[in-house]
Chains A and B, each alone.
Chain A
Amino acid sequence: MADKQTAFQELVLRAKAGDKDAFSEIYETHLTPVYRYCYIRLGNREEAEDIVQETFLKAYLALQRFEATRDNFLPYLFTVARNLLINKGKKKHPDLEPGEVMDREDGGMNTSSYAEEKELSQILREAMEILTDDEREIVAQRYFGERTYAEIAATFDKREDAVRQHIARAMKKMRKHLIQYD
């Protein structure tokens, strides 16, 4: 753990000094959860990419002025991304028309799988829409951002058991919504 922390600190120092490869390495390590989180919140690949780009750009600039550690960097990214999403006004996905589905992500699927996947993603997104803002945000961070309950609790300034309660209730709500498709 200490070695990973030290290695990350060295990467940060190199990135601060303008080493693009070091920043690329930091980026590669953190991209996927941030992207998945943005994507499930927006339902649109291009918009998610815009937010991700903006997030990492801000992070790169922020490296100059805050002491990034392995522990605080990913939470920082999620905070930035979340603020950008809020600013974008996409919390409730107003531009997603009824019946419109999320973009295709996996080009390798066959047609029937792809259709099923699109339908599934649409159904899941619809199910998430019935959640409260907090529940939706927490579910997105838990399952798409791959964040632990403790990390989410720190981000939202909530107790961990409160986060767990949000997750459990959100999952129950979503199931109720989804049984109509059975």
Chain B
Amino acid sequence: MTKILQPTTEDFITDEQLLSFFDAKEAGKSFPDAINASGLSTPSQKETDILRSLWEMHGNLMRQAHNTTPRHDLLVHIMERIEDAPSSSSVREKKVTSQIAPQGTSVVFGGMNKYFRFIEKINWKILVSSALILLIFVSATGNKNTAVKSVPLAVNEIAEKTIQAPTLMAVSSDEPQALPVADLAMRATINAGPESAVMLDDGPLSSTDIDTFALLVNGGADVDASILDDTDGDVTLIFTDSQSISDFVNAYDETTF
């Protein structure tokens, strides 16, 4: 008795024949036409059954895919997330002008994208604090003959106050390299001279002390800054970068007047 071997696998159909079979199905052909398109000639009943199950499985996959539909409100959530995206250019501009940048700084930085990026990355609270300190500083220096004379302070304190204002405004520990050095001349005005009644621990600031400032600035320390004006007892230092301020403060602290 001869045993007829029936295919138990899909080995009777090559990969390309199977794909042609599916392609024909996707093109809308009937099952018999798809068999013909695959190039199979007169498949046995067993082979036809296998092809039928492949046909149905393919149909089930397509049907499952077709029934998988996204919710309509998904776009709303995505757009909300886009609105909240930190690096969205439109959002960035909006935040810089309306939230992050305090009033006044937008004038300084207005229209300069590199500053937008810088401002965006630093803490807005620091900017607000800086603006307030700067405001206090401007008020104090604008009325120095009364304010400074009536409240004698040690030079260290004065220097600290006056230097901190531009430092806080322009220097961010998050991204010091983004400092717009060339565009922002950071000024620290230090009240000096006997007539300003600024007191050192051991007496008024003398011309020698002013010379010491000059020494610190112009060569006594590795500070890249210059003295703008010391004719009326005020020494205005112009720092060219944040490191210069840091160097100056360190050198100043280490110097005994």
Chain A contacts to B: CB under 8 angstroms: 18, 20, 23-24, 27-28, 31-32, 35-36, 39-40, 45, 49, 52-53, 56-57, 60-61, 64, 105-106, 117, 120-121, 124, 127, 139, 143-144, 146, 164-165, 167-169, 171-172, 174-176, 178-179, 182
Contact = CB atoms under 8 A, between A and B. Distances in A.
Given A35-B69, A172-B9, 4 more contacts: A32-B69, A60-B88, A124-B60, A171-B54
B62 A175 contact: no
A61 B19 contact: no
Interface string B43-77: 00000001001100110111111011111001101
A60 B85 contact: yes
Given A164-B15, A164-B19, A169-B15, A57 B75 contact: no
Nearest to A58: B85
Contacts of A165: 15
A39 B54 CA distance: 23
A175 B67 CA distance: 21
Interface of B: 9-10, 15-16, 18-19, 22, 50, 53-54, 57-58, 60-65, 67-71, 74-75, 77-79, 81-82, 85, 87-90
A62 B182 CA distance: 32
A174 B10 CA distance: 11
Main secondary structure of the interface of A (DSSP, over half): helix
A40 B67 CA distance: 11
Contacts of A53: 74, 77-78, 81
Contacts of A164: 15-16, 19
A31 B74 contact: yes
Nearest to A20: B79
9 contacts: A27-B75, A57-B85, A61-B88, A121-B64, A143-B61, A143-B62, A168-B16, A172-B18, A178-B53
Contacts of A117: 64, 67
Looking at B22, B50, B53, B75, which has the most chain A CB atoms within 10 Å of its CB? B75
Contacts of B19: 164, 167-168
B107 to A, nearest CB: 24
B50 A175 contact: yes
B65 A40 contact: yes
A55 to B, nearest CB: 9
B54 A27 contact: no
A172 B68 contact: no
B81 A57 contact: yes
A40 B79 contact: no
A32 B15 contact: no
B81 to A, nearest CB: 5
Contact of A36 (B57, B65, B78): B65
Contacts of B50: 175
A28 B57 CA distance: 29
A171 B79 CA distance: 38
A49 B79 CA distance: 13
Given A57-B85, A165-B15, A182 B53 contact: yes
Contacts of A27: 75, 78
Given A24-B79, A57-B82, A168-B19, A36 B68 contact: yes
A106 B63 CA distance: 12
A146 B64 CA distance: 12
Given A40-B68, A117-B67, A165-B15, A171 B90 contact: no
A45 B77 CA distance: 14
A128 B49 CA distance: 21
